[in-house]
Amino acid sequence: MNRYGHFDDDAREYVITRPDTPLPWINYLGCEDFFGIISNTAGGYCFYRDARLRRLMRYRYNNVPLDSNGRYLYVKDGDTIWNPSWKPTRTELDRYECRHGLGYTQITGQKDGIEVCVRYFVPLGQNLEVWDVRVTSHRPAGRQTQKISLFGFLEWCLWDAQDDTTNFQRNFSIGQVEAQKNAIFHVTEYRERRDHFAYFALFGADALGFETARDRFVGVHDGLDKPRAVLAGKCESKLTLGWALVGAHQVDLDLQPGQTKRLHLLLGYCENPQNRKFEKPGVVNKAPFRKVAAALGSAAQVDEHFQKLKQYWSDLLSHYKANVPDRNVARMVNVWNQYQCMTTLNLSRSASYFESGIGRGMGYRDSNQDLLGVVHLVPERARQRILDLAATQLSDGTCYHQYQPLTKKGNTALGSGFNDDPLWLPLSVASYINETGDTTILAQRIGYADKENKDRATLLDHLEISIAYTLKNRGPHGLPLIGHADWNDCLNLNCFSQTPGESFQLAGDISGPKARIAESVMIAGLFCAACQCMAEIYELTRKTAKSRALRSAAEKMRRVILKTAWDGKWFRRAYDALGKPIGSKTNKQRRIFIESQAWSILGRVGLNDGKALAALDCVRQQLATPNGIMLQQPAFSTYRGEYGEITSYPPGYKENAGIFTHNNTWIQIAETILGRGDQAMAYYLSICPAAKERQIDTYRCEPYVYSQMTAGKDALTPGEAKNSWLTGTAAWSFVSISQYILGIRPGPRGLVVDPCIPKSWSGFSVQRIYRGKMYQIEIKNPRGVCKGVRSLTIDRKAINGNVIPLNLPGKQVSVVAELG
């Protein structure tokens, strides 16, 4: 519970009870091709597949007030106008509630006895969103019938969101709409090269009027808080060409005391075949819209679709359920973390309140990591994503850093040369195979992005070339070259940029001899982990010689790390373009970074000689705060061209000593590898969103999903979060808590039971669907230890070791593990 809301665990909803949250708190609609983002005050927009190229609604990022365009319902009751979502009028409400659920948001506002409740969702299998509206009069019996006017309103985006916000000389003259009874069609550019249009249509009531021009509905010098048409209680029902297009429907309602009236609006996207674009010359073929109207025109149909959506999420979340003693852990691991993982799968880093939808496409490293959080939920989609990603790898092993979801083509402007990129593929493929057992994916022919189709390399070829790329591109110490950057996009050791506005990632030469000096210890550790994944894949496919070769390649790299990157108490981070260490006691300001501690340990370096333990102790002493672990200390206080973007941020923010929650999860895992369950859990809780309710006015972002970053101790606002929703923290947190802390981990030969928990936990249980069977796993901790399975019984029979064999009979497996 906090001042703004609370979890409703049974309903799987976050309930916001006042609209003026510290920042807009948002949710996502849609799980397939049609998506929307929606705030607790109904702000946001929707799009078909690509947030840049197929944007339906216009949204003004960075507007004042923040988040002031969206899916609005206006009520005119006498001389008062208000919105159930509070914005944009911000008329004070008698009651307000927003429920963000899984794939839907329901906002209720009440004023002077009239309640308007609207539930927004995207039905499965449809390219549209529903605004399901209930209007109720709570006036006492015996009072008169109440007459109110209700207006549904949105502003159209002219499809390409980038062009829409810049090219006014053209765009103010191209807008086009059509209208029918109760339906407005947005058809800009349809008459020329587009084959798609959008609609905004009303069902369950007759519209008294409609509006299509923003200037008429809102006014030129007026704001959305005082739209002229609403104040006048009248729409002009006219068509428009050019300027800014809107869709608005007016409904007048007579409500008896106690009466509820229901209506709904559909906002959606349609495509027509090229040869059937028009039903009459110049008139858009509305056949696809008529199909939608037939499928979703009635309230009963809307209800049925909503139930299907609820069922979809219940089914998905039944794949993994943990019963644990900590309430915040339970709500994250069972609901919100998995929900966020699906969102990062769908949206990558494209559209949020911090990502404008016109910037980044699908990131190679981002999307590979996002898969780790969803292979257990949607294995078929994970399979396809792996193949799409691999198809953007080039034949020398490097990868396009990003690709566009609509075309699936690599983004040439950004190109390749981020030298960690190739190594995330072995991790995602191993995770997919460990989950599903499907090794046939390895033989899939995908080819390289720069090669003709005839020479179509298999996925296994891609994996091998990823390893080979790293081995081939090593620097003077034998560590992998960093290229533009490794996971830390802001450690740009070859950029030396002095030109304002130049991209840190693209500046500098990464192909000449000078670029063959800067090296990354993090990539070295990642390489060891990737080799481990590959070795297991080879063993599974009976290629023992290859497996042995990779294990020995990893072992060699471990020795290189120990020899060249051990700094005495922790692992160095990198070597710069002059060959000088970064993240070392020998730096002028003795420095320590998080990523190389984490990945050396995840790569199994220094586990038996005390080095890993020493490094983690330094992390705790020098980097940990109650809000999570900072990326490095001390922060950079001046700009340093030889280090790049990391030094561009003010101290304490983002990659400059901010708490970058993504890499915190790796330290959590590292702690479990060393058996320190109390420390792992303390770190988990230090960044757990649900645990932030207690300090929400400082934290500010949504307490139900991870944010990319929390300001570190050097910042002016320590503990303040930014960049919520689209972050690799989602997938890795789920891996950390479910596979390493709670410790049920899919392996090549079955589920591994290997928890590492706080000593005070007396036990917990996990229910998990795995390769077609339901596992009920009970963990008992009678001796109060952190780690170590002492006995394992399966269907009441004791077995050796801690791996549940795959070939057990039946569909239900009951497992009891005792720690101690």
Amino acid letter, 324:
V
- Binding of ligand NOJ at residue 483 (CB under 6 A)? no
Task: Say which entry of ligand NOJ, ligand BGC, none residue 487 contacts (CB below 5 to 8 A, set by partner kind).
Answer: ligand NOJ
Q: Which is nearer to ligand NOJ, 361 or 755 (CB)?
A: 361
Burial of 455 (0-12, 13-18, 19+ CB in 10 A): exposed
Instruction: Rule CB under 6 A: say whether 487 interacts with ligand NOJ.
Output: yes
Tell me which of ligand NOJ, ligand BGC, none is bound by residue 591, counting a contact when its beta carbon lies within the kind-specific cut-off of 5 to 8 angstroms. none
Partner from ligand NOJ, ligand BGC, none binding residue 763, C-beta < 5-8 Å depending on class? none
Nearer to ligand NOJ, 706 or 761 (CB): 706
Decide whether 50 or 655 has the Cβ nearer to ligand BGC: 655
Q: Which stretch binds ligand NOJ (CB under 6 A): 67-75, 481-489, 740-748, 801-809?
A: 481-489
Nearest residue to ligand NOJ, using CB? 489
- One-letter amino acid of 154: L
- Closest separation between CB of residue 593 and ligand NOJ, Å? 12
**Positions 644 through 683 that interact with ligand NOJ (CB under 6 A):** 655
Classify strands 402-403 and 362-363 as parallel, antiparallel or unpaired.
antiparallel
Of 645 and 754, nearer to ligand BGC (C-beta) is 645
Q: How far is the CB of 438 from ligand BGC (least distance, A)?
A: 31
Q: Taking the complex as a whole, how short is the minimal distance between the CB of residue 660 and ligand NOJ, in angstroms?
A: 6
Write down the least CB distance from residue 35 to ligand BGC, Å.
21
Residue 804, classed as helix, strand or coil, is strand
- Mention every residue, 6+ apart, whose C-beta is less than 8 A from residue 23: 66, 353, 700, 701
The tokens for 478 are 């034998």
From the list 318-326, 363-371, 509-517, 540-548, the region that binds ligand NOJ by CB under 6 A is 363-371
Stretch that binds ligand NOJ, among 487-495, 602-610, 672-680, 773-781 (CB under 6 A): 487-495
Residue 476 contacts residue 579 (beta carbons within 8 Å): yes
The DSSP-derived string for 491-550 is --TTT---STT--TTT-S-SSSGGGGS-EEHHHHHHHHHHHHHHHHHHHHTT-HHHHHHH
Contacts of 585 (CB under 8 A, 6+ apart): 567, 568, 569
Closest CA to 233 of 149, 119, 132: 149
Residues counted in the chain: 820
Task: State yes or no: is 489 an active-site residue.
Answer: yes
Both structure tokens of 771: 């390769």
Question: Should residue 489 be labelled a site residue for ligand NOJ when binding is judged by CB under 6 A?
Answer: yes
Q: Which stretch, 198-206, 308-316, 360-368, 386-394, contacts ligand NOJ (CB under 6 A)?
A: 360-368
Give the number of C-alpha atoms closer than 13 A to the C-alpha of residue 580, restricted to the C-beta side. 10
115 close to 108: Cβ distance less than 8 angstroms: yes
Work out how close the CB of 344 gets to ligand NOJ at its nearest, in angstroms, rounded to a whole number: 10
Cross-strand pairs, 70:
43
Q: Does 505 bind ligand NOJ (CB under 6 A)?
A: no
Please state the closest distance from residue 649 (CB atom) to ligand BGC, in A: 7
Judged on CB neighbours under 10 Å (0-12, 13-18, 19+), 699 is buried
**Contact of residue 73 among ligand BGC, ligand NOJ, none (CB under 5-8 Å per partner type):** none
The DSSP result for 164-202, as a single string, is HTT-HHHHTTT-BEEEETTEEEE-TTTTTT--EEEEEEE
Q: Is 328 in the site for ligand NOJ (CB under 6 A)?
A: no
Residues 6+ apart with CB under 8 A from 558: 528, 603, 604, 605
- Count the neighbouring beta carbons within 10 Å of the beta carbon of residue 440: 11
Q: How far is the CB of 505 from ligand BGC (least distance, A)?
A: 6
Looking at 313-321, 485-493, 599-607, 765-773, which segment touches ligand NOJ (CB under 6 A)?
485-493
List the single partner that 632 binds among ligand BGC, ligand NOJ, none, CB under 5 to 8 Å by kind.
none
Query: Phi and psi of 41, rounded to 5°?
Result: -115, 30
488 binds, among ligand NOJ, ligand BGC, none (CB under 5 to 8 A by kind): ligand NOJ
Catalytic residue among 489, 567, 576, 714: 489
Q: How far is the CB of 568 from ligand BGC (least distance, A)?
A: 30
**Residue 490 binding ligand NOJ, by CB under 6 A:** yes
d(CA 431, CA 429): 5
The Cα 486–Cα 491 span in angstroms is 7
User: Torsion-angle region of residue 384: left (phi > 0), alpha (psi -120 to 50) or beta?
Assistant: alpha
CA 705 vs CA 5, 6, 426, 693, 724: distances in Å: 14, 13, 27, 12, 7
One of 58, 216, 349, 768 touching ligand NOJ (CB under 6 A): 349
Residue 505 interacts with which of ligand NOJ, ligand BGC, none, CB < 5 to 8 Å by class:
ligand BGC
3-state secondary structure (DSSP) of residue 747: strand
In which residue are the tokens 């390893």 written?
Answer: 467
CA 773 to CA 201: how far, in whole Å?
Answer: 45
Tell me if 706 contacts ligand NOJ by CB under 6 A.
no
- The H helix count followed by the E strand count for the chain is 20, 42
To ligand BGC, the closest distance from the beta carbon of 725 in angstroms equals: 14
Q: Work out whether 421 is an interface residue with ligand NOJ (CB under 6 A).
A: no
Which residue's CB is nearer to ligand BGC, number 352 or number 547?
352
Query: Residue 682: CB partners within 8 Å, gap ≥ 6?
Result: none
88: preceding bond cis by omega (within 30 degrees): yes
DSSP code for 220: S
Site track 434-473 with ligand NOJ (rule: CB under 6 A), x = hit: ----------------------------------------
Residue listed under structure tokens 């709570």? 138
- Which does residue 363 bind out of ligand BGC, ligand NOJ, none, counting CB within 5 to 8 angstroms by kind? ligand NOJ
Q: How far is the CB of 663 from ligand NOJ (least distance, A)?
A: 8
Closest to 26 in 3D by CA, of 742, 503, 785, 725: 725
> Using CB distances below 5 to 8 A depending on partner kind, what does residue 214 bind out of ligand NOJ, ligand BGC, none?
none
Helix, strand, coil % over all residues of the chain, rounded to 5: 30, 30, 45
Determine contact, residues 130/264, Cβ cutoff 8 Å: yes
Contact pick of 365, 604, 768, 787 for ligand NOJ (by CB under 6 A): 365
**Residues at the interface with ligand BGC (CB under 6 A):** 489-490, 505, 645, 654-655
Cα–Cα distance, 534 to 540 (Å, whole number): 10
Please choose, out of 36-44, 306-314, 362-370, 444-452, the segment that lies near ligand NOJ by the rule CB under 6 A.
Answer: 362-370
Please work out the total of residues on this chain that contact ligand NOJ, with binding judged by CB under 6 A: 9
Reduced to 3 states (helix: H, G, I; strand: E, B; else coil), residue 336 is helix
Instruction: Choose the one of ligand NOJ, ligand BGC, none that binds residue 14, judging by a C-beta under 5 to 8 angstroms depending on kind.
Output: none
Q: Does 363 bind ligand NOJ (CB under 6 A)?
A: yes
Judged by beta carbon distances under 5 to 8 A according to partner kind, the member of ligand BGC, ligand NOJ, none in contact with residue 366 is ligand NOJ
Among ligand BGC, ligand NOJ, none, partner that 461 touches (CB below 5 to 8 angstroms by kind): none
We find the least distance from the C-beta atom of residue 488 to ligand NOJ, in angstroms, to be: 5
> Closer to ligand NOJ at the Cβ: 628 or 755?
628
Phi, psi of 130 (to 5 degrees): -100, 135
Cβ 323 to ligand NOJ, closest distance in Å?
33
For residue 337, the partner it binds in ligand BGC, ligand NOJ, none, with Cβ less than 5 to 8 A by kind, is none
Helix 421-436 vs helix 379-390: crossing angle, to nearest 10? 150
Residue 488 lies near ligand NOJ (rule: CB under 6 A):
yes
Min separation Cβ 363 and ligand NOJ, Å: 5
| Chain residues that interact with ligand NOJ, rule: CB under 6 A | 349, 363, 365-366, 487-490, 655
Catalytic annotation, residues: 489
